[in-house]
A = this chain, B = another copy of it.
Amino acid sequence: MLKKMLENVRKNAPLVHNITNYVTANDCANILLACGGSPIMSDDIEEVEEITSICGGLNINIGTLNRQTIPAMLAAGKKANACGRPVILDPVGAGASRLRTETAFCLLKEVKFTVIRGNISEIKTLALGAGTTKGVDADIADTVSDDTLDNAVAFAKKFSEKTGAIIAITGAVDIVADKQTACVIRNGHPMMSKVTGTGCMLSAMTAAYAIANPESLLEATAASVCAMGLCGERAFKRLGKNDGNASYRNYIIDEICNLTGEVLQNGAKYEVR
């Protein structure tokens, strides 16, 4: 199943429109090429609707957010919805500033997202601020571990139900959920947190997976999350004694480039809940 998801990306070469931050834009472009997709970065309100309409889908990332691009994000998101194309939201830093939090809420209100991917703290900000009482949701811990997993899975399903999006919460343990089903994924390596933009890269790649697998969005998102984690593991094994986080970044993208459906299928560590 995961194998098929990856192969569909390689076969369809999905073109992804990215409205994203300038810190990791280059890595996002290269990981899209690595996985079999193709990137376009464009964020000016004058052109985003046209660009979205020639692409297979849209990846909105609010890192290095600035006021000029917010209307572009809204316009492109609505256009993608109108064209029936997948839209991914990466709410980088939601909760860290009013601008990011309010922009994320505004996007959630105006655009129907296909996948929302963030860390637990970002996703909690989106869910709690969106009008729910603090009751149950506030019980969600700030890291996902075996102790807090049941709560986090329930939270992810509930937030998926509310938004209609696949929810991908990534961290030491990853959760990918729709309203009924969650994949708990245990791929990845702690050193990935020493590389800037692994989350951004994953969101960009997830857009490619969603575009190439429109009938299987939960599986497609899970495949993308497994692929990133597995390649983090494989790249870690490749590290020589003088290698550090810069080489590790390159090796992760290299592994995505060389990943086959079979290796993904065999290396993925997930359970369905």
State the CA gap A193–B38 with chains docked (Å): 10
State the CA gap A242–B34 with chains docked (Å): 13
Which of B26, B42, B256 meets A26, CB within 8 Å?
B26
| Contact indicator A40/B96 (Cβ below 8 Å) | yes
| Contact indicator A195/B30 (Cβ below 8 Å) | yes
Flag whether A98 is at the interface (Cβ < 8 A).
yes
Q: For this complex, into which size category does the number of interface residues on chain A fall?
A: 35 or more
| Contact indicator A40/B93 (Cβ below 8 Å) | yes
| Contact indicator B253/A246 (Cβ below 8 Å) | yes
- Residues of B near A256 (CB, < 8 A) are 244
| Contact indicator B50/A98 (Cβ below 8 Å) | yes
- Chain A 236-253 per-residue mask, 1 if CB under 8 angstroms from chain B, else 0: 001000111111011111
- Residues of B near A21 (CB, < 8 A) are 41
| Contact indicator B66/A34 (Cβ below 8 Å) | no
State the CA gap A4–B44 with chains docked (Å): 42
| Contact indicator A26/B27 (Cβ below 8 Å) | yes
- Which B residue's beta carbon lies closest to that of A234? B242
Q: Which of A26, A51, A67, A196 has the most CB of B within 10 A?
A: A196
Flag whether A255 is at the interface (Cβ < 8 A).
yes
Q: Which of A21, A26, A96, A252 has the most CB of B within 10 A?
A: A26
- Residues of B near A255 (CB, < 8 A) are 242, 244
